[in-house]
Amino acid sequence: MKAIFPDLEGKRILITGASRGIGREIALNLAKQKAHIIFNYRKSEEEANKLKEELIQAGAVDVTALQFDINDSDSYQDKLTNFIKETGAIEGLVNNAGVSKDQLTLRIKKEDLDFVLDTNLKSTMMLTNFLSKNFLRANNVSIVHMSSVVGLMGNASQTSYAASKAGIIGYSKSYAKELASKNIRSNVICPGFIETDMTEALSETAKEKYISQIPLGGYGSTEDVAMSCLFLLSQASRYITGEVIKVDGGLYI
Amino acid sequence: MELEQRVIKIVSEAANVETSNVQASTNFVDDLNLDSLDMVEMMMKMEEEFGIDIPEEKTEDLKTISDVTNFLKQNAN
């Protein structure tokens, strides 16, 4: 599978949660498109350097690794401001970092709910809001939010996760309307059952049950999601904003 | 270029009108139909052009070209 989006070459794109799963695959595919990738890491500098090296090998024109936690806006404001001052405006954003904590609604404690909503929804909004002034200085800005098909269809034992992911859709649509006149686009991808560490944690019975409901059959791959993300980041989708694209094999039709 | 002319240049670009259509008394919203987002973007350009910081609460009082030039005169380094 080789899609080429020439306008992504050299485009400065920030991606959160690039260390594994879907985020990592998006970063690798952006590298193949010769983008300038900026990613954050929380702890291990060694792992960040390894990923950086890998992305450069894959073709990225430049890679910037910044240490910050998306849940702590104080940890990224100065770093991103300095990056923008020294290198130039950030032109693309992939809000990918996310967590899930599946449990029965009856057992959810406030801390659990805060953790999921803060990481998946609030931090996405805070980071995007923070970068908005920067976006006004850039051209052809595209923001892609990683939601989930669960945010559309709901799922037992995932009330907090589903609420956070549905919240992202409302945010993205409002943001798209507000900033459209400045040619800033905002779209959402809703992955379905994609093979990652996060879905690996599901029980065999749950997996089988899901797969039987997927019209296209089988799991999706992280590359399936990455391809849609590249499309939304590039000018190939220049007339698309406020959209929600499901990458779910038809799970939720 | 004179201060007022520099301000007029930025404003006319933001509103996409000829500089000849913009005078000291021109009101950004009533005369040029700028919306709140246009205003934010325009104030960012003012900050860059004149190397100053325009506090957000202050931007609400800056409604015309002369409001801006007066603000700049008072706050210029």
User: pLDDT of A187-203, one tens digit each?
Assistant: 999 999 998 776 777 78
Q: Given this model, what pLDDT does residue A199 score?
A: 72
CATH of the domain at A68: 3.40.50.720
- Among candidates B56, B57, B55, B50, which has minimal Cα distance to B72? B50
Residues A48, A75 contacting (CB under 8 angstroms) = no
Q: How far is A15 from chain B (nearest CA, A)?
A: 25
As a whole number, mean pLDDT of residues A239-245 equals: 98
Q: Which residues of B touch A179 (CB under 8 A)?
A: 37
Q: Given this model, what pLDDT does residue A54 score?
A: 98
Q: Given this model, what pLDDT does residue A1 score?
A: 57
Name the DSSP class of A43. S
CA atoms within 13 A on the CB side of A96: 27
How many separate domains does chain A show? 1
Q: Mean pLDDT of all residues in chain A?
A: 95
- Candidate list A161, A171, A175, A210, residue with the active-site label: A161
As a whole number, mean pLDDT of residues A26-41 equals: 98
Name the DSSP class of A16. S
Chain B interface, mutation test: which of A137, A174, A177, most B Cβ atoms within 10 Å? A137
Q: Which residues of B touch A85 (CB under 8 A)?
A: none
Residue B64 sits at φ, ψ, to 5 deg, of -130, 170
Considering the domain boundaries, does residue A1 fall inside one? Answer: no
Q: Which residues of A touch B15 (CB under 8 A)?
A: none
The residue with tokens 């933001």 is: B14
B40 touches A at CB < 8 Å: yes
Nearest CA in chain B to A135: B41
Q: Find the CB nearest B44 among A133, A179, A181.
A: A133
For B3-75, CATH gives: 1.10.1200.10
* B35–A136 C-beta distance less than 8 A: no
Which residues, 6+ apart, have CB-to-CB distance to A86 below 8 Å? Answer: none
Q: Given this model, what pLDDT does residue B77 score?
A: 60
The span from the CA of A96 to the CA of A189, in Å, is 10
Q: Supply the range of the domain harboring residue A173.
A: 8-247
Q: How far is A230 from chain B (nearest CA, A)?
A: 28
User: pLDDT of A194-227, one tens digit each?
Assistant: 987 767 777 888 788 888 999 998 899 999 999 9
pLDDT at residue A234 is higher than 60: yes
User: pLDDT of A130-159, one tens digit each?
Assistant: 999 999 999 999 999 999 999 999 999 999
- Encoded amino acid at A106, one letter: L
Instruction: Report the 3 state secondary structure along chain B.
Output: CCHHHHHHHHHHHHHCCCHHHCCCCCECCCCCCCCHHHHHHHHHHHHHHHCCCCCHHHHCCCCEHHHHHHHHHHHCC
Q: Given this model, what pLDDT does residue A196 score?
A: 79
The span from the CA of A74 to the CA of B46, in Å, is 27
Q: Which residues of B touch A182 (CB under 8 A)?
A: 37, 41
Nearest CA in chain B to A136: B41
Considering the domain boundaries, does residue A169 fall inside one? Answer: yes
**Least confident span in A170-179, A239-248, B46-55:** B46-55
| Sheet hosting strand A244-247, strand order edge to edge | A62-67, A36-41, A12-15, A92-95, A141-146, A184-191, A244-247
pLDDT at residue A162 is higher than 60: yes
Considering the domain boundaries, does residue A101 fall inside one? Answer: yes
Active site residue B35: yes
pLDDT over 70, % of chain A: 99
Beta-sheet pairing, A184-191 with A244-247: parallel
Chain A interface, mutation test: which of B33, B34, B41, most A Cβ atoms within 10 Å? B41
pLDDT at residue B1 is higher than 80: no
Considering the domain boundaries, does residue A3 fall inside one? Answer: no
Residue A244 sits at φ, ψ, to 5 deg, of -125, 115
User: pLDDT of B25-59, one tens digit each?
Assistant: 999 999 999 999 999 999 999 999 999 999 988 88
* A137–B44 C-beta distance less than 8 A: yes
Q: Which residues of B touch A136 (CB under 8 A)?
A: 40-41, 44
